[in-house]
Amino acid sequence: MPAQLSIFAHVDEPQVEVLGQGPRVVLVHGSVGNAAATWAQQRPLAERYTLVLVTRPGYPPGPPRERIDFAEQAEQVATLLRPGDHLVGHSYGGVISLLAASQRPDTLRSLTVNEPPAFGVARGDPAVEDFLNRFPQAPREPRAYLDFFLPLVGSNMPLPDPLPPDLEAGARAALGERPPHEAEIPLSELAATRFPKLVVSGGHSAVFDAVCDALERELGAERAVVPGAGHSIPRAPGYTETLARFLESA
């Protein structure tokens, strides 16, 4: 069995679970689901890698926060990085990972982002503009928000009724997140770095295709399309294998 270590941080810092052995892969989750929920299907990689599962402040099992800011959390993730790390970010965690990577340009071995909502890199695209125009209509009650948000981003995650406590807490955390289109991704700085980059989309959304196309082009990144789970890309058939191949090549 791979070695496992849990580190419980101060309430205003990420909570980190370390699993396995080998080169380190730092995994940053997106909105609604915490690290354990997002990366459940990637745990077998702990046979070959040290998985560093980062649960962002505001998400369970940590206490709630009224406001979650991608800029603050990018700085927190950057402080966790060690030389030779692979960094993998999903959705909102992809925005955080792009920013964290730009702060540690000589540290990373590779960077992977799954459909990051870095909409600022694709402003003017009709699908992106329509998507952003819908968000002011989002409900503020957790269940109603998930009913609105999940279909909008293309997630096929089933919603139990009533919501389990962790899922309700995740919805409240997502409601407190700073809108990711406000992030200014330093494209030229990232493009100048030497570590390889992979941008993964799910082949289900013109909005995320536009963002991923822009990142692929501007960063000189590799691109993979892994269909089958909508926006919930870590759950898609073949995603773990796609990620593993990229990590090995890096």
pLDDT, one tens digit per residue, over 107-158 is 999 999 999 999 999 999 999 999 999 988 899 999 999 999 999 998 877 8
Total domains present in the chain: 1
Question: Contact at 8 Å (CB) between 54 and 36?
Answer: no
Tokens standing for 23? 């080169």
Mean per-residue pLDDT, 180-209: 97
Distance CA 196, CA 219 (A): 9
**Structural domain harbouring 147:** 4-249
* Window from 8-17, 26-35, 57-66 with minimum mean pLDDT: 8-17
Mean pLDDT of the chain: 94
Give the model's pLDDT for residue 11: 52
| Range 20-27 average pLDDT | 98
pLDDT higher than threshold 50 for residue 238 = yes
Q: Report if pTM > 0.85.
A: yes
Quick: pLDDT tens for 39-95.
999 999 999 999 999 999 999 999 999 999 999 999 999 999 999 999 999 999 999
The pLDDT value recorded for residue 33 is: 95
Query: How many CB atoms are closer than 10 A to CB 249?
Result: 10
Note the pLDDT of residue 154.
87
Residue matched to tokens 């730009």: 102
Per-residue pLDDT, 137: 87
pLDDT band with cut points at 50, 70 and 90 for residue 1: very low
pLDDT at 4: 46
CATH number of the domain residue 126 falls in = 3.40.50.1820
CA atoms of 68 and 8, how far apart (whole Å): 19
Q: Is the pLDDT of residue 189 over 50?
A: yes
Q: How confident is the model at residue 157, as a pLDDT?
A: 76
Mean pLDDT of 227-248: 97
